[in-house]
Chain A
Amino acid sequence: MSALLEVSGISVSFDGFRAINNLSFSIGPAELRAIIGPNGAGKTTFMDIVTGKTRPDQGTITFGERAVSLLGMSEARIAREGIGRKFQRPTVFEDQSVQDNLLLALKAARSPWCVLIWKPKASDLARVQVLAHEVGLADQLQRKSGELSHGQKQWLEIAMLLAQEPRLLLVDEPAAGMTPSEREQTTSLLVSLAKTRAVVVVEHDMDFVRRLNCRVTVLHEGAVLAEGSLDHVTRDQQVISVYLGRG
């Protein structure tokens, strides 16, 4: 199985501090992967690098069958390549309606001119309906998304990610601030998503990760400490000392 995303030997430092240190990582086209690690392990920086927000000092990142290099691409270009990212804090456009938010995310031409003359076709509106239905916002389409509850915003953001139809989904702490039932829903959604695309979940919550039932990568001080099933890594002596040592 060839990898969808192949990250090899990347390093980045901020003012002398090595946030990522010779990190390598790869994920297949339909795989669920959890990344865990203590604070400051470089989880967020790793996501920043993959999505083009931060430029690595060295290393390579390739994506897709043709293994195009993501280095030097803008964030927008990388997103158009098919990498979606969900932030920790729900970021939806609160001044606009749920429908507008979804239309914005819908896969379509992104250049200013195309967008200017773009009109939603019936199929686009139907797709928005379906997506909204999936996340339980079907009856909220005309509401301003700023009026939604925190949880609803989370769901709206997930629906927007789905609308983008990414091939790789990066999800930052999806379980934060969710009720137990919402967590369950999220878990099953992530698992079902990973059947057709690659999903990387960054999470603190061990219970949540256990429920995802997938391969786990442990980051520590900007490098991969261990990789394997959750049971495997939790038995790893180094992982235990890092986690217990930090409390």
Chain B
Amino acid sequence: MSRSFFAKHPSVLIFIAVLAIFTIMVTLASDAYGFGWLSTSYIKTLGKTLSLCLVALAMDLIWGYAGILTLGHMAFFALGGYLIGMWLMYARTEEIVVQALAHGGLPATPEEISQGIASQIFGVVGTSDLPAIWSFAYSLPLQLALALAVPGLLALVFGWLAFRSRVTGVYLSILTQAMTLALALYLYQNDSGLRGNNGLSGLQNLPGLTETSQDLVSIWFFWASALALGLGYLTLAWAVSGKFGSVIRAIRDDEARVRFLGYPVELYKLFLFTLTALIAALAGVLYYPQAGIINPAELAPIASIYLAVWVAIGGRGRLYGAVIGAAFVSLLSSVFTSGRLPNIPLGPVWLSWVDWWLVLLGAAFVAVTLFAPKGISGVFDRYQRIAPPDRKGAPLGPADGSLQKQEAQA
């Protein structure tokens, strides 16, 4: 990363600096390494927020830069979580089972151990056989590789099918939404091999570190999330600063023209779709051990739409906008839904924040779309006095019926 890169893009340097300072401050405020001002659960919330910022980065790359509004990327996020959760749950259950069998009078046989693990994990859905998809759950490296490979492969296949047949615009949004819905419905089944609607739980307990307090574990994951976010930001900022960024923004603005310049637009989209799915999966791998539980509700289409909401509110088409949006909205959401805010008396009824927060969010989102398409980070533009670019160009001619169609596909 040359000096000129930072010189040309000072926002990257600022972002990294802010992230570093934030990480140090949180560390100093933690129970484990500092003065204990922040509770462990709040550190987890912050760590989770950083992972969400990472997936928001991915969303911004594919939607803000390339104009592909996918409404299914939280599926990849959750898949990553599920796959790492399998190892966490398996390895942790193995410890417990081995311990329990140790008191049985005879040393445990491998069959007894795997039988014990299977019935521990799957007793809740009424079976005691370990499904084939758990074949690699015993190994962290293998399962980690799967946590990236499976979402990546899914994105590759789905993206190939979708982009090959030139599904674009709102069609693509709806198709991706259908994809995540299909996956969620599949996982809801008890015989999906992932415990149906119970999902995976107890993921906060790291195998082999049973004695370690959650105070320490939470700050480790916070660091890991911060590191991933920092590296992700640097990589993506580098990628979009060059000709690649130029091409994908061109695809967003006029994909047919890019095609006539000789760029394989579909290949670019597939590349982006898969890349962002991988980033989302990585974020999920970091998120769910901090959340402790994952279930099929995490794949509901609404989750992916929230992702779009964050990016839109933060300001799409710039990486820090996505991070600001994700951090702002998800932290605000956790404040409002915590139930700790006092209710507001409105004559005979009490207005409860928990109930009305979503209404507020929905309305705010509509307002942002209507009045502030650049989101929160539009404020920075005003500060720097950047005039809004005139993207739409000359007024459309009289026969613009077809042009509208063209835009609908852009």
Contacts and interface: CB of A to CB of B under 8 A. Distances in A.
A and B touch in the complex (CB under 8 A): yes
A87 B257 CA distance: 9
Interface string A150-187: 10000000001000100000000000000000000000
Given A95-B249, A110-B262, A115 B391 contact: no
Contacts of B265: 76
Interface size class of A (residues with CB under 8 A): 35 or more
Interface stretch (B120-128, B239-247, B322-330): B239-247
B16 to A, nearest CB: 21
B261 A118 contact: no
B261 A164 contact: yes
Interface in B128-178: none
Nearest to B396: A89
Interface stretch (A7-15, A23-31, A77-85, A204-212): A77-85
B394 interface: yes
Interface string B239-271: 100111011011001101101111111111001
A176 to B, nearest CB: 11
Interface in B353-410: 389-391, 393-394
Interface in A70-120: 74-77, 79-80, 84-85, 87, 91, 93-96, 100, 103-105, 110-113, 115-116, 118-120
Among A80, A87, A94: residue with most chain B CB under 10 A: A94
A84 B257 CA distance: 11
A118 B246 CA distance: 12
A215 interface: no
Given A51-B260, A85-B260, A150-B394, A112 B244 contact: yes
B250 A96 contact: yes
Contacts of A40: none
A76 B244 contact: no
A146 interface: yes
Contacts of A118: 242-244
B264 A111 contact: yes
A94 B261 contact: no
Secondary structure of the B contact surface, majority rule? helix
A74 B268 CA distance: 14
Contacts of A103: 243, 246
B254 A116 contact: no
Contact of A96 (B242, B246, B262): B246
Contacts of B393: 94, 146
Contacts of B266: 74
A127 interface: no
Contacts of B242: 115-116, 118-119
Given A74-B264, A76-B259, A147-B390, A104 B246 contact: yes
Contact of B246 (A100, A111, A150): A100
A75 B257 CA distance: 10
Interface of A: 51, 53, 74-77, 79-80, 84-85, 87, 91, 93-96, 100, 103-105, 110-113, 115-116, 118-120, 144, 146-147, 150, 160, 164
18 contacts: A75-B260, A76-B259, A76-B265, A77-B262, A77-B264, A79-B262, A84-B260, A93-B250, A93-B254, A95-B389, A104-B243, A105-B261, A110-B263, A110-B264, A112-B244, A115-B247, A118-B243, A146-B390
Given A93-B250, A94-B393, 17 more contacts: A53-B256, A75-B260, A76-B259, A76-B260, A77-B262, A91-B257, A93-B246, A93-B249, A94-B391, A95-B389, A103-B243, A103-B246, A111-B264, A115-B247, A146-B391, A150-B394, A164-B262
